[in-house]
Structure 1
Amino acid sequence: MNVAMTKPTYPIPTYVPAQKSQKPSWWGRLSLGTKATILAVALSTVPVVGIGAINYVVVNQTFQEEISANKEIKNLSNLLMGTGVTALLAGIIAALLARRAVEPILATTSAVQKLSQGEFDTRLTVEGEDELAILSSNINRMVDQVQTLLQDQKASVEQIRLYAETVNAASRGDKQFLFDRAVTEAKKQLNADRVVIYGFEPDWSGSIVAEAVEPGWPRALLDKITDPCIPRKILEEYRKGRIVPTSNVQQTNFSPAHMQLLARLSVKANLVVPIISGDILIGLLVAHQCSNTRVWQPSEIDLLKELATQVGLSLSSITLAASKAAETERIQRWKDIIPRIRQSLEAEEILETSVAAVREALHSDRVLICRFDDSNIATIISESVAPGWTKLKGETIKSSVKEGNISSHYRPGIVHTLDNIDGASPNPWERVMLEQLSVKAHIMAPIIKDDKVYGLLCAYQCSKPRIWLETEIDLFSQITDQIGFALLQSALLEQQSTATFLAQQLNEITSQIRVSLKVEEIYNSAISGVRETLKTDRAIVYLFDENWQGTIVAESVGRGWPEALGANIADPCFADKYVEKYKRGRVKALENIYEAGLTQCYLGQLEPFKVKANLVAPILAEGNLLGLLVTHQCSSTRAWQESEINFFKQVAIQVGFALDQANLLEQREQARITAELASSEQRQQKESLQLQLLELLSDVEGASRGDLTVRADVTVGEIGTVADFFNAVIESLREIVMKVKQAATQVNTSLGENEGAIRQLSLEALKQAEETTRTLDSVEQMARSIQQVAENARQAAAVARTASTTAEAGGLAMDRSVQNILGLRETVAETAKKVKRLGESSQQISKVVSLINQIALQTNLLAINAGIEAARAGEEGQGFAVVAEEVGELAARSAAATREIEQIVENIQKETASVVEAMELGTTQVVEGTHLVEDAKLSLNKILEVSREIDQLVQSISSSTVSQAQTSQAITDLMKDIAQISERTSNSTRQVSSSLQETVGIAEELQASVGAFKVGD
């Protein structure tokens, strides 16, 4: 049953500020017994003395006249003595009575003093029914209440310690350690014989997971005791917080099985409290009393309830931490899957890696990828299955869906989950697959490639139902996306590889075709290369005649397929519909000839050759359509790739180029034959000319011996023209020889006259050349000196430029140093501001601490006032007096803590002030460093200016020396030229002299030679 706990309420006292009392008088300093004695003596003596005095006056007046003076004095003395004795006896009696009356008060005072010193076992003896007896009774009750409060406080502290121990146990993250600690502490606090925790499984079966039991009683944990008899209704009530305290189990209506279980454990009384984590019933915290029956007190019920609550919270914390750690590990594990998938380059490897990684991450029984064909038949193309389950890779599953494509039922990004197939209603295809694979729960999502559904990624739990987590669903969706990306990347790489392979094959086929010189070899090389590269069943060359009817002139066909070589294929519609299209380069690709809309006539022509798919490209030579290059796929239909179509088209183009080349080679051969015929004719003409030339030479043979009177016979033709020209030349030569004879005679005469003058000129030129050579040596020496100066000037210029460059680099470095120092200055200033603000904040903390200290002092004062008021209030305020005392202690501790904080804050302020002072000093040093760097920069700038001036001066000197060097070089060159001219003049004069001498000889020889000619008269 549910137990509601109510806590007692106390009246809230009104705090009255205590008035400051004045210094007590001597009467106020007397003890209560002294005051009572004085009052008793006074009260008993004053009447006697007053009566005696009155009697004395009356008697004195009465006997004054009758008794003599002596006798009167004696009587009075006796009367006074009697009165004094009476008064003394009355005082003694009063003192005894006062002492007896004061003894209870003194005993009460002593007892209260002991209580104030913490001796709460002290009790007052209550005698009678007077006010002192009532006071003693009230004091005894007050002490009992104080002891109860202290026990409650001790129990509260113990509970707090228990909760702290539970929290500490939870911080270890070990559920079993938490359970063991909880039952141990609960048994200790409740002083029970046994405390157990009964934990539930997901199917609400349960067992004892932790136990603390006194020696001598049966142990439930070792025997693995379970209790399957808890109805669902009771479990729901426990989940809502039901608490069941049972004082005597024999007086309950428990089920026989449960009673048997209790008897087995020797349970006489028990207390059952649910352990709830969040909204989930984790188990039951049960306390057993085995020695006897037991009435469970509200405080005990409350204690066990609070402990169960704390265990539930701790379990929530452990579960949350474990779930976070598991989720982090799971996310990391899923993240590790993506690189593994993206590392694979082959589609099959990508799929195998994906299913294995997903099954490992999900810990599922089976993960597979299936694809659908046009008949809605799913084929398992990749699978990873746990041990104990049948492998199904390659198996097909036929769907009951008749219309539409199953892939269209799965949209990109949508993940389909099923936690428990029992009671679910999946779509027809999923139902078929789940039944065939014995699936209890599944998660599946489409794999998208090129914006189309490539297939389905499915993860199955076959052993039991499973609740799929949101993170698993999200990551599963991401994995399917990554598989699609990886497949797309693989397809692109495959396309690239295919394109590279096709390009290489095209190059090889083109090379083979270009090497071939015969048309038949060109055709055979092309169709063999096409069929081998594209892995087709047949490749042919189909040539047209003048009527656009065709014949297969070349074929390459696979084994087992019909041959088509020599077959005549006539298409009456070809000339009208397709000739112009093929002339423009049309390439026709049919994936399935039966779905291409071909005529029955055309299909009838293809069917004898078992054609399922084909590629057709035109063969063009010199812009004319010669025929078609065709390849057939006979084994099955085929989806032609764009790269394959382009390759096929290029082969057809290369065949056309090769045919053009063959035609050109044939034309060249014809031109060679023609050239050979022309060469034979030219040879015959040459032989005829040679005969005529021999006749001409025999006619003019006398001219070779100096007879200029001979003439050639002029005939018809080219040789006659040459003979006529020869006769004219001989005539002109005869006239020249006659003139040479006359000139030779005149030359001999002139040479004899000028030979001496030429010899003198030669000597003078030789002397001038020697003088010029000596001058040239001096000029060259001067030029070398000038060049040395120029070289030194160039080195000085280089040094000056280096200094200038160094100064410029130093200036830039100084600029950067200034900027860095300024940045440091700003940073230090900003830091100083922050530290100052920290000091200001510490001052604010100091103010707050001071305020807290004042509040603590006021709280302490209020606690003192509350204690005084509680003492005044008597019994009703005693409970509050203890609270006031604890508040006072708390205020005292708060005051001590604030004093420590004030000391710490004061130290912080001192350190802050020191740091600020150091930063201000650092700022001053940074400013000084900035000035020093700026001075250094100015010095470097001056050095730079001086270096530049030196550089300019050195460059000027260098330019001048270079100019002088160039001038000296020019002079040297000029002197060399003069020397050379002199030398040439000398040589020329010598040569002229020699020439003249030779000329004399030549003239003589010429005269002799001319004399050999026969010129006639």
Structure 2
Amino acid sequence: MSQSFSQNQARRNRQQKLWPQKWSLKTKAIVWALSISVLPVFAIGIATYFYGINLSSKQIPQVRLERTKSSTETEALQRQLSLLLTGMGVTAILAGAIAVFVTNRTISRVSNIAATSNHIKNRLRPDSEFTQTFIAHEDELVMLERNISLFTELLSVLVQEKEAEADYSQLLTKITRWVRESFNQEDVLKTTSEEIRKALNIDRVAIFCFNSNCNGTFIAESVAPGLPKILGVTVSEPGFEAGYIEKYRDGCTRGIDDIYQADLSDDDIELLQQFAVKSNLVAPIFKGKQLFGLLIGHQCSRQRFWQQSEIDLFAQIAMQVEFALDYAKLLEQVDTKADKAQLFIEITRSIRESLNEEDVLKTTVEEVRKLLSTDRVLVYSFNANWSGTVIAESVIPGYPKVLRSEIQDPCFGQDYVEKYQSGRVAITNNIYQAGLTDCHISLLESFSVKANLVAPILKDEQLFGLLIAHQCSRPRDWQQPEIDLFAQIAMQVGFALDHARLLQRIEAEGVQSQLLADTIGSIRQSLNEEDVLKTTVEEVRKVLSTDRVMVYSFNANWSGTVIAESVVLTYPKVLRAEIEDPCFGQGYVEEYQSGRVLAINNIYEVGLADCHINLLESFGVKANLVAPILKGEQLFGLLVAHQCSRPRDWKQSEIDLFAQIAMQVGFALDHARLLQRIEAEAMRSQLLVDITRNIRQSLKEEDILKTTVEEVRKALSTDRVLVYSFYANWFGIIIAESVVPGYPKVLRSKIHDSCFTQGYIEKYQSGRVVAINNIYESGLADCHIKLLESFAVKANLVAPIIKDEQLFGLLIAHECSGPRNWQQPEIDLFTQIAMQVGFTLDHARLLQAYQANST
């Protein structure tokens, strides 16, 4: 019950004048019953008796005169009067006994009802003054009357509180929705403080964030006009953070009705007085398992008695803020990753568009400085003795320019060369806290450096120089996405320098070199593998004026397929032809792997085996030119030129050009694969955001699971996605499914997998994800294979769903049409979605529980 009701009731009890009772209700009722039943009989009997005595007394003289009357008659009259008096007494006693019996039975029922009402009262309001008084004097009737009056008032208050709870429940739902619609931390905190202040009619709502150095800052605030603003105020005192963590680590919400009566320290009271606080309400906000800060409500205009419903609402909103902060952080990470991937693509394209070394380096430093928002980016090129020169620089105004500076670093020895040669990236957040030598610190100080980031640039697989970012204004905590992006750009600079150097050499060779540049330029503009190969064969056939150019891709057994072709109309097309060349042995593989280029001017004059000649004749070939295509240092295939009209004397410049183009095709394929992977990762990141948003919009467990399987099946383009929920004995049932038409539906199927043991449970509980490309090549038990075959499964992907830190079930993707090579981005996306499903199920359960309690 509310505190105001208790105070009013106590005030009325003190004002009521209670008269002391000496008798119980039962005693008083019996006395009244006896009085009503016995006294009238006694009165009538005694009156009759005395009337008879009086009458006989008046008649005695006359009797004495009349001698005819004997004395015996007088004695008989007196006996009759005595007998009448005795009868009256017996009647009175009998009437009293009957009255006592009836009264006793009636009062017993009243007493029982009073005792029952008092028992109910004690459970509802044990501290009521007047009932305690009436109990002490055993006045059950008055106690019953007062209890009924109390129940009437309590019911009225209960109805009001239930209505308030319903209002608060609706408020919680609205505020939760508004908070969830905020997609970054700043918006979450701002929305929270504004909406709570309006909902609870509080003078100020603020969010206080703990720092790492034993102090904290108010990072969000909504305050009524006329009151001091505390946004940005930092509170600092020894032991401050530790003290508050100790108070709020248990998740308890604390309400103070009057700061002067709450046993606060003088320092706490003084701090609250500075903010004009009379009453406050504080709830902890956790981020993960760490105390992130406090949600605080201040009543400044007056003291306020916080109602329990207000305290509960405040605590629940603080909990929703925790979920919203985690969600906002995830979205920011995903968005940042997608943005970084897009920036990497754009920067790589800008660098690739620079066709000489100077432009490559200049573009690199300009774009990287803008991307990282840092003070200086430079390229440091090594000399033969490992001294070097700054050959490219981009620096903001106000800091020294170091372009063309020659640097002799005595601290840079052979150990550093080997580390950078192997790809080491050096991260220094603060040069004075990184354990650097004095000579190194002095060198960096001469450039005004406070923090730096260093990545190697490899050119022709040798250490060409270093890509360096300088933060001069202050130390800087380099983030991992920034470091990864910086390293990838440095790698691309190396490729671009190789590319630029090659182009420069080709341009120096005349018209043939210009043709190569045009060809490579066309190839480089192709951003996926298919386009790279298609452009290659088209451009090379035009450049060499030959009859056919094709790309032959190897299989694992060194057979292969023609995957790209450009041929003049009069000769047979061999695109998609599968070629099994019995003459192609391991010796040829090793030769092509090492860069061998084969030029045959006439297939009949070079001593080819008959099987080889027969194969070439089937394609109408008279002369050919073959160069290897290396992809990731592995032999991917062959670039082949066919002269079909006649034998041909291949020129050395043509052979060199052909070899160089084949090499560039390898680089372009690597580049295209890298771009495809980055674009795929960006798309997967966006898919994760979209799918997570769709799942989060479902507030019931059934809708969450249904949305999940539908969205994941579309995202992965797979045949079936289902959710498998465990029973207590680790058997289970399929509770959600999305499957393409033509494959069996397994929704509601109960599965008793005898192969699923406790060992699997522990692995899935710890986050294990299983990717099976082919169920027949993964070493599965026969019972497991039979189970999968019953669902027409050829490959599958399994991730655990954790709900309330327990293994709730499994999110499973089935590929039924054939085996599937699951890609790592797909596996990562699948894992993240399964994790989000667990979080969303927790959220849905919390909302359902709250709504159930509210009703």
More strand by proportion, 1 or 2? Answer: 2
Q: Which has the bigger relative contact order, CA under 8 A and spacing at least 6?
A: 1
Taking structure 1 as the reference length, what is the TM-score of the superposition? 0.39
Rg comparison, structure with higher value: 1
TM-score using structure 2 length: 0.45
Structure with the higher fraction of residues in helix conformation? 1
